[in-house]
Chain A
Amino acid sequence: MYPHLITTNTVTIIRDGQTYTATSDMQGFADALDCIRQGEWDAAIDHITPRATIEEYADGSLVIEGDRLLRNGTEVDHVMVPHILSMKEKGFDIGPLVAFLDKVLRNPSMRSRNQLWRFVATNNIAITPEGDLLFYKKVQDNYYDVHTGKSNCYTVGSTHTMSRSEVDDDPESTCSTGLHVCSFEYLRSFGGQRTMLCQVDPADVVSVPIDYQNTKVRVCRLTVVKEVANPEPLDTGVYDDSIPF
């Protein structure tokens, strides 16, 4: 038995002089309590800090050194951790997620990468098996963009690009130049009659404006995957061709 303390909203276990502690609003709290009550101390610690779980799931593709989560020696933001655990829980393979991280780390701008982490921290990440992000986009009834109504026609299968240098990378400029996509939460603020599902390489994400709780994203390249009649919130997970709506 390790020294431990359970209160209404906290749990603390001390193993070999190391303190493992969490609050009740963390994901593994209830499981940790169950394990403690069954005397499975190490399993309880694995629920408090997901290090061992992640290392096992990642099978070498991600490494944890101290406080740092590393992919091929490059630090990955901690905001990915809940998504990694969620993917594991849902039974997805780590492959698409690793592909996603590789693409994020290939994004040429540190500024953009940091903004992308901010998006990841507040939104679910729906990815394709190749590691591309899935976003929504509203278009007019004739599939033209909402803003000008004549610049881009977002038909299924079409790919749209803009020179990266023309896309505003300032998150403070909340309405500016760039190809705009969004998560489900922003859809109602996005004018337009039709909703398209778009695939975006994380390396092509330029900025995440700070308004609307980081739900809007400016990118320099996107491909329209399909039209969605009744959009639903996209859960964190891997979506292949069979998107359920």
Chain B
Amino acid sequence: MLIDVSQTHESSGLTKLCDFQIQTNGIMVKALTSRLYSNPISSVVRELASNALDAAPTQPMEIRVPTALDPSFRIRDKGPGLSRTSMVEVFTRFGESTKRRDNSQIGGFGLGAKSPFAIANSYTIISSHAGIQTTYMASIGADGMPALHEVSSQPTNDTGLEIIVPAKPSLKWVEALSQIQYFEPRPIVTGCTYNGPTIIHENPQYLVISGGEPSILVGPVAYPLNTSHFQRVPPFVLKFPIGTIEVTASREEIVYSPATIQRIQNAIDLHRQDYLSLQDDLVAKCTTVPQIWQVLKGSIFDKTYTFNAPGGRTYRVGNPYVEIPGASYLKVTSSDRKRKRWKGTSHSGSSLYFYSEDVAYLEDDNRKMQERIESTLRNQPNFSHGTDVYVVKDRTPFDDMGLPIIPLGTIPTAAPIRKPSRPIAHRILNDRGALVVSPTPCTHYLPVTVVDKATYWRGVRLSRAIYMAMCRRIGGQIALITPDFKGKYDTLRDAAAEWEAAAQTFLDTEAPALALYNSYQQVDGWDTPLYAALAANGLLPPPPPKPANYNPARYYDVQAFCSGWASCNINYKEEYLKVVQANPLFTLLGIKHWASTDTADLTRIVSLIK
């Protein structure tokens, strides 16, 4: 890159005292390496890749991003390599560049080759030049000054330069590849999954990529365009030759000087109309309306297109909407969606302007079905505030245009069978008509009666399926007591008082015992023959007394019931492990779990431990 430093300088009557100088010390080196770049990783990739492209413009370079198996960034070009003299010039002299003769090469500031110091204090360079492969290491010494070291040499038939920079694996390395995504020939990238951009159109002045943002290419290096400096920028990638656009010394950004802004604006103005005709061509190739919207994404032109559907119908498409003429639909606003039954505004025979983010459902003739579905859709998460919801009668236009439409009848309903009553904590009925005590407040209270194994709800006999559906709505894990009430009462209301009292007694008297039982269950191994055998021989503390009315079969999921109640203070498991694990014979015997029930094993263990 040609860098013009010539300035007008005329004077008289002045005596020049001295020239300014730049000190060569660690601080200056830091300023020109680690402190120069705001995005060091991206800069290392861009600088080293630019150098590799300059060295071998026709052969693809090889890039390996850091991985956990090899935590280093590696880049290799197939150029001629560097002689020892050139190595010293390029790698040890800041401001030294061999690329200032013309604009055919990207570099020029004489900083890029040193950019790895921005992320690491050393890096390795392997140069294969004139039949000799030499390995060098560049490092920052104790005084902050960099030095180049030669490691070894060996004969080779290869040529080229490989740079190895130690680096932690990070997604930033993959993201950094975006700045070199237009390099030709395409770099061969390994160590990550990297797909370059999908170029939809390319000509010498600009290129268009799928879903692209406005940006510019200076030579092969891509820079995002700060559109606040410009007017009416189509989403294309403008190409500029090296040297025509000023970049910062770090080459991370474009310098938005008045001249540069003017140059870029001129190019935008020149190609804007071009881009419009290209857009027309691209739209003409689209076979569905969503494809057209994709092309028009970010477009600055307020232009509508005619879309000819396969059935001979035509629609007008804009950015990003489509006009459906003569439609019958119900438009449901945000507040209407909250209602049990959607009200909305009915339209018939007018044009529906359907935007890309809108949602359409096909109406169902069955009103009851419709209502259930509407209540289901109230919970749809993808309705943002900008989304309009339509219920339409005719799906033809949507099929024509390749737009998604959802037939309401296919949506599964999650509508409650019955609205939850006021929560009654801890007391519900189970499907056997028994009073159920739950550790959690339950939202449902099923006032059912059980007569001769049939379940009645408000006088209506419930089928098994419906009854199970109702039961599924009961939350929480349950513990069960079965007071003998069957046939005693016709309705829950009659039974409620007595049941409530029964439940209270249950909670007061049996819950602590249940909790104890539960804690036994949680202590793996307490309730095992091995524990009993060890305890009987005085090797473990005796087990705590069994709860009154101890009958595991009586309790359903006691663990859950008890979790909210008392817990046992003795850590039996710990005690147990102390004894068992302290003796290596236990593992040697090959018994890996203390729940072993093999009597022979148990006897052996006990005798061995003794």
Partner-B contacts on A (CB < 8 A): 3, 5, 7-12, 14, 17, 19, 21-23, 25-26, 48-51, 54, 64, 67, 69, 78-82, 114, 121, 141-144, 147-148, 150-151, 153, 155-156, 173, 175-177, 227, 229, 241-242
Contacts and interface: CB of A to CB of B under 8 A. Distances in A.
Nearest to A81: B68
A14 B140 contact: no
Interface in B91-133: 119-124, 126, 133
Contacts of A79: 68
B152 A17 contact: yes
A14 B476 contact: no
Nearest to B120: A10
Contacts of B119: 23
Interface in B393-448: 414, 416, 423, 440-443
B310 to A, nearest CB: 26
B609 interface: no
17 contacts: A8-B121, A10-B120, A10-B139, A14-B152, A19-B126, A19-B164, A21-B165, A50-B69, A67-B70, A69-B69, A81-B69, A142-B475, A143-B475, A143-B477, A150-B473, A153-B472, A177-B382
A121 to B, nearest CB: 8
A187 B126 CA distance: 49
A163 to B, nearest CB: 9
B72 interface: yes
A50 B560 CA distance: 45
Interface stretch (B1-9, B166-174, B353-361): B166-174
B563 interface: yes
A26 B168 contact: yes
B135 interface: yes
A22 B122 contact: no
Q: How large is the interface on B (under 10, 10 to 19, 20 to 34, 35 or more residues)?
A: 35 or more
A51 B473 CA distance: 53
Name the residue in B164, B168, B475 with the highest tally of chain A Cβ atoms < 10 Å from its Cβ.
B475
B481 interface: no
Nearest to A49: B70
A147 B135 CA distance: 61
B255 to A, nearest CB: 32
Which of A9, A142, A175, A242 lies at the interface centre, i.e. has the most chain B CB atoms within 10 A of its CB? A142
Nearest to A150: B416
Given A50-B69, A67-B190, A156-B560, A144 B475 contact: yes
A153 B154 CA distance: 70
B414 A5 contact: no
Contacts of A242: 524
B545 to A, nearest CB: 26
B476 A143 contact: yes
B69 A23 contact: no
Instruction: Select the residue from B70, B123, B416, B477 with max chain A CB neighbours within 10 A.
Output: B70
B381 A10 contact: no
A80 B67 CA distance: 10
B597 interface: no
Given A78-B69, A141-B440, A148 B414 contact: yes
B67 A7 contact: no
A5 B136 CA distance: 11
Given A22-B72, A155-B475, 4 more contacts: A114-B193, A142-B440, A150-B416, A176-B382
B64 interface: yes
B124 A19 contact: yes
Contacts of A50: 68-69
Nearest to A151: B414
B409 to A, nearest CB: 16
B209 interface: no
A144 B484 CA distance: 31
Contacts of B524: 241-242
B381 A14 contact: no
Interface string B439-465: 011110000000000000000000000
Contact of A19 (B135, B557, B563): B135
B191 interface: yes
B149 interface: yes
A11 B477 CA distance: 57
Contacts of A64: 69
Nearest to A85: B68
A21 B124 contact: yes
Contacts of A173: 382
A121 B174 CA distance: 14
Nearest to A69: B69
A135 to B, nearest CB: 19
A23 B440 CA distance: 53
Contacts of A156: 477, 557, 560
B137 interface: yes
